Amino acid sequence: MSEASLGRHLVVEYFECNPELINDVPYIERAMVEAAEEAGATIINSTFHHFSPFGVSGVVVIQESHLAIHTWPEYGYASVDIYTCGEPVDPWRAFQYLKEKFASKHSSVIEMLRGQPSQLKKVPFEAPASASPLDPATLTPEFKRHVWFTDRDEFIALSLRHTGDRLYRVRSPYQLVEVYQTYAYGKMLACDGMVMTTEGDEYVYHEMIAHVPLLLKPDAERVLIIGGGDGGAAREVLRHSQVKEVVLVEIDEKVIEAARLYFPDLAQSFDHPKLNLIIGDGIEYVSKAAKGSFDVVIVDSTDPVGPAEGLFTDAFYRDVHRILSPTGVMVTQSESPRFNVGVFQKLFDTYRRIFGPENAHCYLISVPTYPSGTWSLSFNTKSGIHPLHDLDEARAAAFTEAHGLKYYSPAIHKAAFTLPRYVQELLEPQKVTA
């Protein structure tokens, strides 16, 4: 009976799947493409996305129609359409293949026969001349993959298209560490689905988190970096020859491993003779470090979830204040005034309380691969160093030239502290929400 219809359409329910597998975009895309191959289809393109808070949607277009999926990891459930036309393609082979790939314990299928001859009537139709069946491009179209990584919250997202082949994926005791090859920004490091850094724009964040404090405090000899396991902040700090020691405390050795394997330009700093790399919890480290033992502390952390949650508390910043020398400076990654408004406001409220209202300054950077693109750093000083008045511009200009910096310059340094009015308003103390 099935031979008689134009198309065969399997409407499939996969139950009790492995939730991890059906929440993994590259894994699902690969499985769907392989299922199409298994069925004997010719693949034209694939488009896959991740959805908030979880779940994946995607489609593989084949010359003989399509395979489509939507998953609900929280129910261990995937619904799949496998629609094929033409006899040599067997949709049941694709069905069986996906059942195994998703580790589904049971499933159900309805097979619909599409375009049954008894209901069809031939009409006069001639294919346009350009669509000659002998045109090799028509016979074997190029397979294009559209697989996307999305960093998002409930309302805002940033998506980067990647090759679909993940280079690194390890679930460490702290987080999921991944490396993707993106088209627009080269390799990208992500922790728990959040963009940490990309080859294409890493210099923005790393130059600004390192050179602003170190050019404002040119006598700094001892620098502590909390987090920063990609190595980028340390690479920039180590350009300052007066620095005698950089202690980098990163909690997750898997981030260091991923950086060493895939970001050698950032990870070069790990082997620098002045770098003391400690795998450990930054919160514990600052609680035990001696009073006044660092001139600059850089908090280069992930967002305030998971292991980094404690890096956003009063207690942690009080410890940082204590371990700074009398003219010491703290710089932090202080989230986005667009993406994480509440956290951003609370952080600056905390800095003002601990360092004094005149000594906590916000500066902005433009990072294309962070959600919203607008990101903030904070500059906090114990002794009232002013981020604009105390900058030795000639020295900063010479430094910029000598190191061929790509984002930092004395002009950008000064401009970064000029805040748009909406950010000024967010930072007014009375605006801080509970």
Report 309-348 residues binding ligand SAM (CB under 6 A): 310-311, 333
Cα gap 246→223, rounded to integer Å: 5
Does position 32 interact with ligand SAM (CB under 6 A)? The reply is: no
Instruction: State the residue number with the nearest CB to ligand SAM.
Output: 227
Exposure string over 9-44, b if 16+ CB within 10 A, otherwise e = bbebebeebbbebbbbbbbbbbbbbbbbbbbbbebb
Is 257 exposed, middle or buried (CB count within 10 Å of its CB: 0-12, 13-18, 19+)? middle
Q: Is 151 in the site for ligand SAM (CB under 6 A)?
A: no
Q: How many residues bind ligand SAM (CB under 6 A)?
A: 26
How far is Cα 166 from Cα 316, in angstroms, rounded to an integer?
Answer: 35
C-alpha pair distances (Å), 272 with each of 254, 337, 376, 388? 19, 35, 28, 31
Cβ atoms of 81 and 9 within 8 Å: the answer is yes
Assess 19 for contact with ligand SAM (CB under 6 A): no
CB of 338 to ligand SAM, least distance (A): 14
Question: Residue 411 Cβ, how far from ligand SAM at the closest point, in Å?
Answer: 23
Q: How far is the CB of 346 from ligand SAM (least distance, A)?
A: 17
Among 107, 269, 301, 340, the residue binding ligand SAM under the rule CB under 6 A is 301
Any contact of residue 300 with ligand SAM (CB under 6 A)? yes
User: Pick from 46, 107, 269, 302: which binds ligand SAM (CB under 6 A)?
Assistant: 302
| Contact criterion met (CB below 8 Å) for 236 and 206 | yes
Distance CA 227, CA 429 (A): 28
Q: Are 94 and 67 in contact (CB under 8 A)?
A: yes
Rounded CA separation 227/259 (Å): 13
Q: Is 300 a catalytic residue?
A: yes
Work out which of 191, 247, 362, 391 binds ligand SAM, going by CB under 6 A.
191
Q: Show the binding pattern over residues 233-252: x = contacts ligand SAM (CB under 6 A), - = does not.
A: ----------------xxxx
Site mask for ligand SAM (CB under 6 A), range 214-233, x = bound:
------------xxxxx---
Among 192, 230, 295, 300, the one annotated catalytic: 300
Catalytic residues, by residue number, are 300
Positions in the binding site for ligand SAM (CB under 6 A):
174, 191, 196-197, 205, 226-230, 249-252, 255, 281-283, 300-302, 307-308, 310-311, 333
